[in-house]
Structure 1
Amino acid sequence: MDTKKLRQKILDLAIHGKLVPQDPNDEPASVLLERIRAEKERLIKEGKIKRSRKSAKTSDTPHYPQDVPFEVPKGWVWCLLEELAYVAAGSTPNKDAFVAKGIPYIKMYNLRVQKIDFDFHPQYIKREIHEGKLHRSRTEIGDLLMNIVGPPLGKLAVIPSTLPEGNFNQAAVLIRPYHHKELLVKYLFYYLSEMSEINSISTKGSAGQVNISLTQSQNMRIPLPPLAEQQRIVEEIERLFKLIDIIEQGKADLQTTITQTKNKILDLAIHGKLVPQDPNDEPASELLKRINPKAQITCDNGHYAQLPKGWSIYELMDVAKIVTGSTPSKSNLSYYGGNFPLYKPSDLDAGRHTNTASEYLTTKGRDVSRIIPPNSIAICCIGSIGKVGYIEQEGTTNQQINTAIPSLAIFPDYLYHLCTSTYFQNSLMEKSSAVTISIVNKSKMEHIKIPLPPKEEQKRIVVAIDNFFNVLDAVKENL
């Protein structure tokens, strides 16, 4: 279930008057609009607000049908945002206006997940600036803020009671209804969240930045329902959104369970408990004697009772060659722009199917690099330690990656699953050293001890893991 699309559909139905039934006994929105206009005129006469310049032709009657996006139900009216609310833009004062403690100054990074998060990089300005130069953009509890510079565009948040006074920068507008503030803010919040009106008037700058001007914000078209219907709409949206919250939490819990299940499957696999052993399989120790006579068994089932029969524990370097990557000189332009992949940690996000790189080398660049063959396991060893990718296409890596090139003793897919297991990841972290950034060098990685099953059992383990994971991935995709 796509809950994001479901929320969008609910908002779409709401603003078209199709979410809740109309009641012919409701006072028409035109009457409400007259009261709001009267309140606005009172505030203008008292000098509390200024009359804005009208950049669009307005009247005391609803717009003609051709001027609005869609037809509204009986009892509704179309109006401009500035008819309903005081709309003001923020601004940025001089650097000397900022102080260590003063009036909270909201920036757009403080609008997070439809709320004001002022604990995130708080800034403050002097009170005299707040009450002087920036007096028109002073915020009050319950005001609606909308960012008008993006992307993203149209982020919304209501000023909370924890910010009884504040100001904000020029990337947003303040929206403060003249009448029935609490209800209208909620209705406007949901209407503007639908984004269709915002997208229809936004413009794109030369640098790819989208924006809405103050005048465009003031002239946004609003479908206004009767006050009683607004209340029903808001209540129904909140009721449905709470149900979606429960669904999303259930999805998140199930995704967590899926991840935990995968980890458990890998744990069972590398401890010999996922598939049955076959006494006819050649023991891992016998295979290693032929392939790598120098390999030293750390322990086998004769010395370690919990190790399945035929299994042994070796160091990673006994079953795979570890290669640390490098980056060809950036100053030599002839090294770059070809078809030979240079894998970086971000490329390992593809996991089991790492086959494209964020950068490519020429033949000259390839010749000065350490070649990684297909079916190798790339492991991030600096920074994002433990990120693992199965390299499907021959390439090279940068110095943040150590690559395990498997010998004939270990099935590549088994090595991949082993490296993604909690057991291996914990071993990596135990061997990491950190000054300013975590690092696991080649030597330490080579000495990580790994459980090695017979080769045939490795193949059975991989088949079992893939079967389980396919089912779990199918469940996850259909959430």
Structure 2
Amino acid sequence: MKDTTFSSTRLLELYDRISDAEDAIPRLRRFVLDLAVRGKLVEQDAADEPAAELLKRIAQEKARLLKAGEIGKFKARDQISHGDLAFAIPPPWRPAFVEAVLNELQTGPFGSSLHQSDYCLGGIPVINPASLQDGRIVPIEKMAVDITTLERLASFKLRPGDIVLARRGEMGRCAIVTENEAGWLCGTGSLILRPSTFLCARFLVLVIGSPFGREYLGSSSIGSTMQNLNQSILLNLPFGLPPLAEQHRIVAKVDELMALCDQLEQARAGREAVRDRLTTASLARLTAPETDAEAFQSHARFALQSLPTLTTRPDQIKTLRQTILNLAVRGKLVAQDAADEPAAELLKRFKAGKDALKKETGDARIRLAPDAKREGYPLDLPLGWEVQSFENLFLFIDYRGNTPPKTEGGVPLITAKNVRMGALNREPREYISEQTFEKWMTRGFPRLGDLFFTTEAPLANVCLNDIEEPFALAQRVICFQPYATIDTRYLMLALTSEVMQALIDGQATGMTAKGIKAAKLKPLPIPLPPLAEQHRIVAKVDALMTLCDQLEASLTTTAATRSKLLNALLHEALEPAAETADA
């Protein structure tokens, strides 16, 4: 007889070909279970008692228990055939419904019998779906009852060998009750399965938790928001029943292969952790305060050579993007040019612009304010750079207080929901009437290129205004309107950097939803390079962000390709077993 087993060696060979796929190990686990319930995981043995004889013994046991009044009778079902199964099974196997191998099936107590007030700390554990984790029963401290409640619900006590199955939420979660959990209470969201003593209960657990079992229960369950499983659905689950001896061999083989998957998972996690540490260290060296110009160039070369290899997940791209912004606001992204007009000259024009606007309008919001000090900014800055406060850079245009009444159409209303980090999104679209617009927009009108800033929910999202038609601003959004010409795209990049976000967050208040008051925001310092360098920084960030986009797209494409390869390889691994089994 040819060897039809799926060995550890074969699994390792398969893993070597698909290890780069993100979901390789979970897919391998499902694949092993799929082979198990199809009769393609271990070799059949002609010396085994056929499954047909096993079904007879199970039926005899049930008849004896029924006659003795120890169990109830299930509703009669139609005869099952091979055609009721979703796949072919080996000749020694027989098709069966779950009902055929259960002595009892019991639903946990209803909510009218087990109330929230019955729960206590330190009592006897109650096993609800949340307690069923990775094929094990894990007690939850707050889900327990005292001895009085346990005895009142004594018919729902768990016995060794029972199977507890979740009947709500994710289908297929189940576990076998051991001596340790004997006497615990089945909860309202669970079912108690008592299989025949002639059945390997662990094999039934594999069937229920297999891709086929989960799919059948999930597609048959009821409920739109949360799936619910009733007894009838479970009892009608068709499956292939192997000889008892083969059931035990299957369970042993699954244990062996799952243990190997655990080892592969740990090795993969270790590899990813090393990658993360290397990536973090490479990027951290670029932004370390003590890094001098020569060391920075060396670190930058290493990062550029290493990051394409180290970067394998989209979340790592996010870190790379933030590093680019951090370098930008530290003056380390582009070279300084001694010919550039110093930022101090730029600040003089801002002061003149602010004074002129105050003289022209008499706006009470424009007040004399001290210049920001370099000491208030947490990082060293290059020669020619300056810092200045929000208040001395911008006129604050905001609309605090009530939200204006909204209409189906009219003048667009820009709210905090439209201000995303780095981009203005017109969705969701909201409007106010023209009459409300005239009464509402009394504190100034945003101009193209002005900055929008959210003060709360979410805090400190920043984007540029690119809207040409008239619109209104809602509360929780501030328009920063510069007093003089500046590259507002640079300012947007600066405000989205980690250092500026940290400064803003440090002045915010609130527990559940942080917010910042304008008075706390106004004195905060913003790093300012010479205007010409601002333009160079923006151009360099654009180029690098484009590379990040390409890398991210490449990862997405690679992930899709790996997923297709994984599907093909798993199919290929299954087919030889099928051919051999049919030979």
Fold shared by both chains (TM-score > 0.5): yes
Equivalent residue for 2:421, pick from 344, 348, 351? 351
Query: Does the CA-based 8 Å contact 1:192-1:198 persist in structure 2?
Result: no
Equivalent of residue 23 in structure 1, options 43, 46, 56: 43
* Partner of residue 85, structure 2: 68
Q: What secondary structure sits across from 1:222 in the alignment?
A: strand
Matching residue's letter, 1:222: F
Tell me which residue corresponds to 1:171: 189
CA spacing shift, 1:204–1:40, aligned 2, 3 Å: same
Partner of 1:335: 407
Q: 1:130 aligned to 2:150?
A: yes
**1:389-468 mapped onto 2 (5 Å cutoff):** 399-405=475-481, 409-434=485-510, 438-468=514-544
Whether the 8 Å CA contact 2:157–2:184 is kept in 1: the answer is yes
Query: What is the letter of the counterpart of residue 383 of structure 2?
Result: K
- Report the residue type matching 1:199 in the other structure: G
Amino acid at match of 1:268: L
Question: 1:30, CA displacement in angstroms?
Answer: 4.5
User: Hey, what's the Cα distance between the residues in 1 that align with 2:488 and 2:409?
Assistant: 30
Task: Choose from 62, 68, 72 the match for 1:51.
Answer: 72
CA change 1:135–1:300 in 2 (3 A) is closer
Equivalences, count: 463
Amino acid at match of 1:174: I
Return the match for 1:281 from 319, 336, 340: 340
Q: CA deviation at 1:452?
A: 0.9
* Paired residues of 2:127 and 2:190 also in contact (CA < 8 A): no
User: RMSD between aligned alpha carbons?
Assistant: 4.3
Percent of pairs with identical residues? 21
Deviation string, structure 1 residues 139-187 (Cα, Å, up to 9, x no partner): 35775544334xx441625378775543344433234544466632651
| 2:366 aligned residue | none
Given that 1:410 and 1:455 are in contact with CA atoms closer than 8 Å, whether structure 2 keeps it comes out as: yes
**Cα deviation per residue 1:51-71 (whole Å; 9 max; x = unaligned)?**
34225324xxxx323322222
| CA contact 1:341–1:357 (8 Å) conserved in 2 | no
Partner residue of 1:271 out of 309, 325, 330: 330
- Measured in 1, the distance between the counterparts of 2:437 and 2:68 equals 76
Q: Deviations over 1:79-110 (max 9, x none)?
A: 22233444322222254861434433344455
**Unpaired runs of at least 5, structure 2:** 1-19, 277-310, 355-368, 560-583
Unaligned residue ranges in structure 1 (runs of 5+): none
* Cα distance between partner residues in 1 of 2:424 and 2:269: 30
Letter paired with 2:514: S
2:127–2:186 contact (8 Å) kept in structure 1: yes
The 5 Å alignment of 1:96-115 reads: 98-101=118-121, 102-108=123-129
1:231 is aligned to 2:249: no
Q: Which moved more, 1:451-460 or 1:157-166?
A: 157-166
Contact kept in structure 1, 2:385 and 2:530, CA below 8 Å? yes
Partners of 1:163 and 1:176 in 2: CA distance:
15
Length-normalised TM-score, structure 1: 0.77
Q: Which amino acid aligns with 1:215?
A: S
**Aligned twin of 2:216:** 197
SS at match of 1:203: coil
Partner of 2:173: 156
C-alpha distance in 1 between matches for 2:407 and 2:151 = 59
Question: Counterpart of 1:360?
Answer: 430
In structure 1, how many angstroms separate the alpha carbons of the residues matched to 2:135 and 2:433? 50
Q: Give the corresponding residue for 1:214.
A: 231
**Residue type at the aligned position of 2:175:** V
Shift of the 391–156 alpha-carbon distance from structure 1 to 2, 3 Å rule, reads farther
Cα pair distance change 1:362/1:382, threshold 3 Å: closer
Q: Which shows bigger deviation, 85-94 or 388-397? A: 388-397
- What residue is the counterpart of 1:381 in the other structure? 455
CA contact (8 A) 1:139 1:159 kept: no
Higher Rg of the two aligned structures: 2
Q: CA deviation at 1:276?
A: 0.8
Distance between the aligned counterparts of 1:116 and 1:380, measured in 2? 46
| Aligned AA (1:425) | Q
1:298 to 372, 381, 393: 372
CA deviations over 1:110-162 (Å, ceiling 9, x no partner): 56787666547x23345444344x4444335775544334xx44162537877
Code of the aligned partner of 2:430: Y
Distance in 2 (alpha carbons) for counterparts of 1:192 and 1:87: 22
CA deviation after TM superposition for structure 1 residue 300, in Å: 7.0
Amino acid at match of 1:221: P
Are residue 315 (structure 1) and residue 389 (structure 2) matched?
yes
How far apart, in 2, do the equivalents of 1:304 and 1:426 lie? 10
Tell whether 2:242 aligns with 1:183.
no
Structure in which a larger fraction of residues adopt strand: 1
Is contact 2:423–2:462 with CA below 8 Å preserved after alignment?
A: no
Q: Distance in 2 between the 1:75 and 1:461 partners?
A: 73
The 2-side partners of 1:465 and 1:311 are apart by 18
Query: 2 CA distance for matches of 1:338 and 1:5?
Result: 52
Q: Does the C-alpha gap of structure 1 residues 64 and 10 become closer, same or farther in structure 2, counting only changes over 3 Å?
A: same
Question: Whole-Å Cα distance in 2 between the matches of residues 354 and 160 of structure 1?
Answer: 55
TM-score (normalised: structure 2) = 0.65
Aligned counterparts of 1:388 and 1:31: Cα–Cα separation in 2? 72
